[in-house]
Amino acid sequence: MATATLMLLAFLGGMAPEQVTVAGAKGDTKLPVRLDGSGAPVLAAAPLLAALSGSVRIADGWAEVTVARQPFRFLVGAPLYVFSSQLQPLAGSASLAGDSLFLPLQFVAELLPYYLAERYRYDQRTATLKDTAARATARGTSAARETRLANGLRPGHIVTVDPGHGGVDPGNPGTFFPKGVREKDVTLQIGVLLREELRRRGVGVRMTRATDTLIALGDRGGYCSEACDLFVSLHVNSLAKRRRYTEVRGFETFFLAEARTEDAARVAKMENDAVRFETGQDDVGVPGGLDFILKDLQLNEHLRESARAAELVQRRLATVHPGHSRGVKQAGFMVLTTARRPAILVELGYSTNPQDGRLLTTRASQRKLASALADAIVEYLRDYERKVGMVSPGAPR
């Protein structure tokens, strides 16, 4: 038996379960586990995806499995899969038996709980995959009104935190950062701290990246699916060398719409240019036609909510950031185009300014920024609950 399969079975406690239970809004679905020709445990895809409200498409030797709007691509007959443009090894293979597709048990036991951690939990002892978001929906909103966190929020909110850049994309070089530190490092550090602060406030967090890896711009927004309440992308601004350019500092928050100022367009172009690390081309433009997307989003109900979230972020950051508040702005950021939920992009300061450079790389100030961001997000979520009539008596107003 392959070493990878042995490692999976070790993770499962020495042997594969006879069956797996998917616990979700449709009730409990019990699925038998079988062994494929290599001895690796697999599940029939059709009943599994029916229980998960997922789908599958097979073409050109690949099986694209979509669960909670997230695509996983399995190379049929080989122990490989692709998620968010990253090719990864598997303990077993997706396989076809006649017209029936079988998926590795690892998909349920490891991949879904890892990549979609805020929605899926796998109980190894009982071999049960719990769809927490679906079960919360099935319980109805009345129970949510009765149970409140100390900050007045109902339980179950999920926010996607997107630390900008990563991997081969360093972001801007960090003129006044310590030697070897780049924008990608700072956004990840503050992103992880923001995750801690939100969890401390009872808000679930889905990270687009929690390590130094490259996530495609077009894939990041997809992490904020129907169970997500807000997408927050973190970045650091910079300026090209010009007269007195090191004097410019401060923070600004963007939402997706046509840029109204030359500077907003500059920032959007700077961030969008990161796509060259995915394509190898210097100037590729915005896939899909940004003009079309922007016109479509003018009527999008989330535009107003995005603007409100940006306003609250600016207000809260102003209490801890010594730099100038450069206001709420709008521009065409690729990373926001695929988030079909309220979405904002925060430029936390200028790496080309010495004061901002120290602020963004000092642990204590990073924590203050993360805490202020978390406070703004909680305030936004409370505002949203009030708008949709989910406020309970005694909740903060």
In this structure, the number of other CB atoms found within 10 A of the CB of residue 124 comes to 11
Q: What domains can you pick out in the chain, each with its CATH number?
A: 3-138 (3.30.457.10), 149-387 (3.40.630.40)
- Give me the mean pLDDT over the 229-256 stretch: 92
Over range 80-96, report the average pLDDT. 86
Question: For residues 273 and 282, what is the distance between their CA atoms, to the nearest angstrom?
Answer: 8
**pLDDT by residue (tens digit) across 185-197?**
999 999 999 999 9
Are 200 and 154 contacting, i.e. CB atoms less than 8 angstroms apart?
A: no
Residue 295: band (very low, low, confident or very high) from pLDDT cuts 50, 70, 90:
very low
Q: What is the pLDDT of residue 77?
A: 93
For residues 268 and 265, give the distance between their C-alpha atoms in angstroms, rounded to a whole number: 5
What is the mean pLDDT of the segment spanning 47-54?
Answer: 91
Lowest mean pLDDT among 30-39, 80-89, 351-360: 80-89
Instruction: Give the CA count within 13 Å in the CB-facing half-sphere of 137.
Output: 13
Q: Please check the confidence at residue 252 and state whether its pLDDT lies above 60.
A: yes
Q: What per-residue confidence (pLDDT) applies to 192?
A: 96
pTM (whole model) above 0.85: no
Reduce the secondary structure of 75-88 to three states and give it as a string.
ECCCCEEEECCEEE
